[in-house]
Copies of this chain bind each other. A is one copy, B any other.
Amino acid sequence: MSLLVVGTMAFDALETPFGKVDRIIGGSATYAAWAASYFAKNISQVSIVGGDFPQAEMDALTNRGVSMEGVEVVADEKSFFWSGRYHMDMNTRDTLVTELNVLERFDPKIPDSYQGAKYVMLGNLSPSVQISVLDQLKEKPKLVIMDTMNFWMDIALDELKKALTKVDLLMVNDSEARQLSGEYSLVKAAKKIQSMGPKYIIIKKGEHGALLFHGDNVFSAPALPLEDVYDPTGAGDSFAGGFIGYLTRIDDISFEAMKAAIIIGSAMASFCVEKFGPTKLQELNMDNIDARVEEFVSLSNFEIRG
């Protein structure tokens, strides 16, 4: 099956309690495509970069089976740049600098060769860009998942609500779920968001794992307890990439399949945070991933005796 990934490819500068990096590869579509590439074989990337984005990084993704045809390169402009500082809990952060650069003019054109994608991941972008992508698809995908953030709730809530009517699954963190729904209880928040459109909601809770809601069904995935989280940047996008990459591979969107997919996503996120940037995601093999998934099995399985 084919997977369409839409999002940013960018540079990040980061400060965490473990160190500081100046200008490394980042972007939601970068992390998502890397994570998905271990599962899905046919990935179509949609993004925009400046002339400063390394060709080698694009080539590395091409070698993983990710098509770059839908990545617009604006030679005489700069790539999107974000700089932030993480707090001790690694779940909260301050944005220091946001330079939109090429992102300001991002108006993705979906190449003909990308048509017919069965699985679509809309990374965190302006809701109007997310809608524009969906409007260009000639065939209805089997599953569309969408990420967003509080920023869009603050400045583009109406567009965001319109986008929500067009997607199957929304992925947000707990504070975003609370802001979007106006409900403190995550159970109530998930119900309210389901009434806005998406039939599936994943609420990411960082070091506390993630919850999947669908109707009255709930699944709780643990996060792997780690000694050190070096850099949480991209963890959510790696999670999303692993999640939809796995679903693309097994081509199943049942609740049971999504439970397994969340574990895969959590495993990919647990790798992501072990090094700065997408480095760790770029050096994995399936043995590493299988072993990590086994850790999740022993972390969460139990047997009650009568």
**Secondary structure call for the A interface:** mixed
Interface size, chain A (Cβ < 8 Å): 41
Chain A positions 176 through 187: 1 when the CB is less than 8 Å from some CB of chain B, otherwise 0: 000000001111
A142 at the interface (CB under 8 A from B): no
B-chain residues with CB within 8 Å of residue A227 when the two chains form the complex: 185, 187-188
Most chain B Cβ neighbours within 10 Å, of A88, A226, A293, A304: A304
A304: which of B184, B205, B228, B293 is its contact (CB, 8 Å)? B293
B302 & A88 in contact (Cβ 8 Å cutoff) = no
Chain A positions 235 through 264: 1 when the CB is less than 8 Å from some CB of chain B, otherwise 0: 000000000000000100000110110111
Q: Complex formed: what's the CA distance from A186 to B227 in Å?
A: 7
Q: Complex formed: what's the CA distance from A278 to B257 in Å?
A: 39
B263 & A219 in contact (Cβ 8 Å cutoff) = no
Q: Complex formed: what's the CA distance from A293 to B305 in Å?
A: 11
Residues of A266-306 contacting chain B, CB below 8 A? 293, 297-305
A304 & B264 in contact (Cβ 8 Å cutoff) = yes
A218 at the interface (CB under 8 A from B): yes
A111 at the interface (CB under 8 A from B): no
* Residue ID in chain B nearest A299 by CB atoms: B220
B-chain residues with CB within 8 Å of residue A89 when the two chains form the complex: 184
A84 at the interface (CB under 8 A from B): no
* Residue ID in chain B nearest A223 by CB atoms: B220
15 A-B pairs with C-beta separation under 8 A:
A89-B184, A185-B226, A185-B227, A185-B228, A186-B225, A187-B225, A187-B227, A205-B208, A208-B209, A219-B298, A259-B301, A259-B302, A260-B304, A264-B304, A297-B304
Which 3 interchain pairs have the tightest Cβ spacing? A220-B222, A208-B208, A259-B302
15 new A-B pairs (CB below 8 Å) besides A220-B225, A262-B302? Answer: A89-B184, A185-B227, A208-B208, A208-B209, A209-B222, A218-B225, A219-B302, A220-B223, A221-B302, A222-B222, A250-B305, A257-B305, A260-B302, A260-B305, A300-B300
